[in-house]
Amino acid sequence: MELKRIYLDNNATTPVHPEVLSEMLPYYKEIFGNPSSVHWFGQQAHNAIQQAREKVAKLIGAENSSEIVFTSGGTEANNLAIKGVALALKEKGNHIITSKIEHHAVLNPCKNLEKFGFEVTYLPVDKYGIIDLDNLKKSITKKTILVSIMFANNEVGTIQPIEEISKICSENGVYLHTDAVQAVGKIPINLKELNINLLSLSAHKIYGPKGVGALYIRKGTRIQSILQGGHHEKNRRAGTENVPGIVGLGKTCEIAKKDMEKEIKTLTYLRDKLWEGISKKIEDVQLNGHPEKRLPNTLNVSFKFIEGESILLNLDLKGVAVSTGSACTSGTLEPSHVLKAMGVDPVFAQGAIRFSLGRENTEEEIDYVVDILPEIISKLRAISPLYKKKS
Ligand SMILES: *Cc1c(COP(=O)(O)O)cnc(C)c1O
C-alpha cells in the first residue's frame, strides 16, 4: 500500500494554489512580453504587474500600490530594506537595532553591515520570544537609523507587539522594517493603522510560487537600490520583472484576503487539537512560543530527552513531514538560535519539532499524527541515554 503523505511543514514552503497556477500560465505563453516594452506584448505584461501590485497593496492595507516593490523573495526584500536604508542614511547614523530571533535573511545582512562600520544591537527576547519594549526604547540612540523586528517568527510562531514597536520608532524618528513573511496572508495586517516604513513578504509561504516577493516601502522613506541596472520598479529594484511570479503573488494575496478569516478558524482548531492530543498522550513535552500571541498554523513542541532529528526521520518514514528547530544545514546539531534566545533548556531545545499546518490539512491527518507519535517517542526515549538517567 502506498504511504499517504501528510505535509505539516507549511512554514518552510507551501504548494501553489491551483487558481494561482492557472492565473500564471498565460504569462509564460501568450502574454510573454517584457513589461518595459512599448508594444502590445509589453503593455499586457505591464498591466498584469500593476494589477498584482494593487492586490498586494490591498492585502496589507498600503495607502498606494506604488509603495509595493517586487523582489525575488523574502530574502531579497529583507536585504533591500536593511542595506538600502543603511546606504541611504549612512550620513545620519550607523546604528541598527534588530532581535536575536530574526530569520537569517535579516541577521546575516545585519552581520554583513557590521563589516562596513555599522553597529548592530541584537535585542534579547523573553521565554515566549517577545522583545522588551523598554529595552527597545533604551537601545535607540542619536545614531540609530533603523529598527528591524519580525512580525511573526517562523520557528515558534510568536507574534511581536508590532503596534507598540511602531509607536516607539515613530516617536523617536527611526525607521521601522518588519519581516512579515510569516504573517502576511496568515493574520490581518493593516498598514494604515501601523507606522511601519518597510515590510517584507514572500509568495511561496502563502500558496504562491517560489522566487517572488515584495518590499513595501512607505511613501517618503529614504532608501537606496542595492541592484544597479535598468530603471525598473521606479529605480528601486533593477531587473526585468518575474511577470508570471508577480501575477501569482497578486492572485495568492487576493485569495488570502478572501479566505483569511475562515482559514484562521480552521487552522487554530487543528493546531490546538494537535497540541491537546500530544500533551495528553505524551509526557515531558513543552510548547515553545507564546500560548496565544502565535500564528494560527504554528505549533512548536519539545520532546524532552530525545533529538528532533530522530523524531523528524521517524515521522517521515510514516509519511509525515515536519521540521526541527535546529539548523542542521551545517551537519552539526546546533540548537535553534530562536529557542536558545528564548532560554529554552538545551535538553528541551534539541528535541524541538515544528508542526506548521496549511489549508490542505484535514482533521483525519491530525488524528493520524496524534496516533503514531506516542510510539515513536517512547521508542526513541527507550534508547536515549538521557532518558535512562532520568528513570
Ligand atoms: C521564508 C522566510 C524568509 C525568506 O523568504 P524567501 O522568499 O524564501 O527568500 C524570510 N523571513 C522569514 C520569516 C521566512 O519565514
Which residue's alpha carbon is at the smallest distance from atom 3 of ligand 1? 74
> Largest Cα–Cα distance of the chain, in whole Å?
76
Instruction: At 23, list the grid cell.
Output: 492565473
Assign 332 to helix, strand or coil. coil
Read off the pLDDT of residues 101-137 as tens digits, 9 standing for 90 and up. Answer: 999 999 999 999 999 999 999 999 999 999 999 999 9
Q: CB-based burial of residue 318 (10 Å sphere; 0-12 exposed, 13-18 middle, 19+ buried)?
A: middle
Q: Alpha carbon of 380 to those of 107, 116, 287, 308, 310: distances in Å?
A: 34, 47, 19, 10, 8
pLDDT at position 326, please?
61
- Ligand 1, atom 15, residue with closest C-alpha: 154
Residue 12 pLDDT > 60:
yes
Q: What is the pLDDT of residue 119?
A: 98
pLDDT in tens, 277-325: 999 999 999 999 999 999 999 999 999 999 999 999 999 999 999 999 6
Given a cut of 80, whether residue 332 has pLDDT beyond it is no
> Residues near ligand 1 with C-beta < 6 Å?
73-75, 103, 105, 150, 154, 179, 181-182, 202, 204-205, 213
The answer to whether the CB of 89 falls within 8 A of the CB of 222 is yes
Coil, helix or strand for 72? Answer: coil
Any idea which of 48-62, 255-269, 324-338 has the lowest mean pLDDT?
Answer: 324-338
Among 9, 76, 108, 154, which residue has the most ligand 1 atoms within 8 Å of its CB, making it the best to mutate? Answer: 154
Q: How confident is the model at residue 328 (pLDDT cuts 50, 70, 90)?
A: low
The residue whose C-alpha atom lies closest to atom 10 belonging to ligand 1 is 74
Question: What pLDDT, on a 0 to 100 scale, did the predictor assign at position 327?
Answer: 57
| Chain CA centroid to CA 80, Å | 16
Q: Which residues contact 299 (CB under 8 A, 6 or more apart)?
A: 157, 271, 274, 275, 287, 354, 355, 356, 357
Determine which residue's CA is closest to atom 14 belonging to ligand 1. 181
To test the ligand 1 pocket, which listed residue (162, 205, 207, 252) has its Cβ within 8 A of the most ligand atoms? Answer: 205
Q: Quickly count: other Cβ atoms within 10 Å of residue 186's Cβ.
A: 26
Report, as an integer, the average pLDDT of 198-226. Answer: 98
Active-site annotation, residues: 328
Centroid of ligand 1 to alpha carbon of 347 (angstroms): 28
**Other C-beta atoms lying within 10 Å of the C-beta of residue 30:** 10
Query: Roughly how many angstroms between the first and final C-alpha of the chain, as a whole number?
Result: 39
Q: What angle do CA 166, 170, 175 make, to 5 degrees?
A: 80
Examine the pLDDT at 240 and tell me if it is beyond 90: yes
- Does residue 270 have a pLDDT over 80? yes
- Residue 343, phi-psi category: left (phi > 0), alpha (psi -120 to 50), beta (remainder): left
Q: What is the mean pLDDT of residues 190-200?
A: 97
pLDDT band per the 50, 70, 90 thresholds, residue 71: very high
Give distance in angstroms: CA of 75 to centre of ligand 1: 6
Q: How far is the CA of 181 from the centre of ligand 1 (A)?
A: 6
Rounded average pLDDT over 326-338: 69
Q: Which atom of ligand 1 is nearest to the CA of 205?
A: 1
Tell me phi and psi for residue 246, to 5 degrees: -65, -40
Residue 334 confidence class, pLDDT cut points 50, 70, 90: confident
Helix residue spans in the chain (DSSP H): 18-24, 40-60, 74-88, 104-114, 133-139, 162-171, 232-235, 243-281, 308-317, 337-341, 346-349, 363-382, 385-390
Cβ(75)–Cβ(179) below 8 Å: no
Answer whether residue 7 shows pLDDT above 90.
yes
Check pLDDT > 80 for residue 390: no
Grid coordinates representing 302? 519539545
| Cα 45 to ligand 1 centre (Å) | 26
pLDDT at 2 (0 to 100):
85
Please state the pTM of the whole predicted model: 0.97
What is the 205 CA–ligand 1 centroid distance (Å)?
8
pLDDT bucket at 380, cuts 50 / 70 / 90: very high
Confidence tier at 330 by pLDDT (50, 70, 90)? very low
Q: Which residue has the higher pLDDT, 326 or 351?
A: 351
Q: Which atom of ligand 1 is nearest to the CA of 212?
A: 7
Q: What are the CB-based long-range contacts (under 8 Å, 24+) for 29-38?
A: 31/243, 32/243, 34/240, 35/240, 35/241, 35/243, 36/230, 36/232, 36/240
Indicate the pLDDT class of residue 386, thresholds 50, 70 and 90: confident
User: Rounded to an integer, what distance in angstroms lies between the CA atom of residue 270 and that of residue 114?
Assistant: 43
Which atom of ligand 1 is found nearest the CA of 153? 13
CA 210 to ligand 1: nearest atom: 7
Residue 391 has pLDDT above 60, yes or no: no
pLDDT of residue 385: 84
- Pseudo-torsion of CA 185, 110, 302, 294, nearest 10°? -30
Residue-level pLDDT at 335 = 83
